[in-house]
Amino acid sequence: MQIPGSIPDPAALTRAALEHDPSVIYFLDRHLRINWCNAAWDRFARENRGPHLTRQQTIGFPILNAFPDTLVQFYASMYESVLATGVPVSHEFECSSDTLFRRIHLFVLSNPTELGLILINSPIVEHPHGLERPAHPPPGGLDPVPMCCHCRRTRLSPDPPEWVWVPGFVREPPPRVSHMICNPCHTLNYPEFLPRRTRLP
Ligand SMILES: [Zn+2]
């Protein structure tokens, strides 16, 4: 609880700003235990992994225990390098369900307000229908494609904003790009400009 007139806690502000982001975002502490997950984590758990893996059950879980033995060293090295250097790392992996083939783009960043890591999971879209060929192109050219100037994800829909990883757009940007900033990049890089609605009561 924030005392009226006191300086807001930056860690709480960051969590509040990322809580309703559509990407699955979670934090690890220095010992690589999950110490926070946003609402999208619970949605993904309900739709894929089962309700027993909601965030309440997951807090404190050592993330490396989630991987098979052959992958533990890979992920341990990746997390440790970001903790040690502060240099973000990205990685792509398959995360299919029984009905969906799915690939995920993972960003691992150091957490500016808490000692630990921030992990952002975005779906990878190879052929974003409606972006490469808009249904009703305006006179004079195609609609500019909204891309985040920091993480280079593409915004598929504005409301709610859905940011995805489009490999083709990163290799070769579309003819017209509208440079924007996604919510996680805004929150992590410009916390002093957080919109008021994300401030805690
Ligand atoms: Zn971004």
Q: Tell me, in angstroms, the distance from the centre of ligand 1 to residue 149's CA.
A: 7
Q: Tell me, in angstroms, the distance from the centre of ligand 1 to residue 184's CA.
A: 6
- pLDDT value for 141: 54
Cα separation, 79 vs 155, in Å, equals 27
Query: Whole-prediction pTM value?
Result: 0.78
Please state the domain extents for the chain. 10-194
Q: Tell me, in angstroms, the distance from the centre of ligand 1 to residue 167's CA.
A: 15
Q: Which residues of 26-56 are buried (b: 16+ CB within 10 A; e: fewer)?
A: bbbbeebbbbbbbebbbebbeeeeeeebbbe
- pLDDT value for 195: 59
CATH number, domain 10-194: 3.30.450.20
How does residue 10 score in pLDDT terms, banded at 50, 70 and 90? confident
Q: Tell me, in angstroms, the distance from the centre of ligand 1 to residue 5's CA.
A: 31
Q: Rounded mean pLDDT of the chain? A: 83
Q: Tell me, in angstroms, the distance from the centre of ligand 1 to residue 70's CA.
A: 31
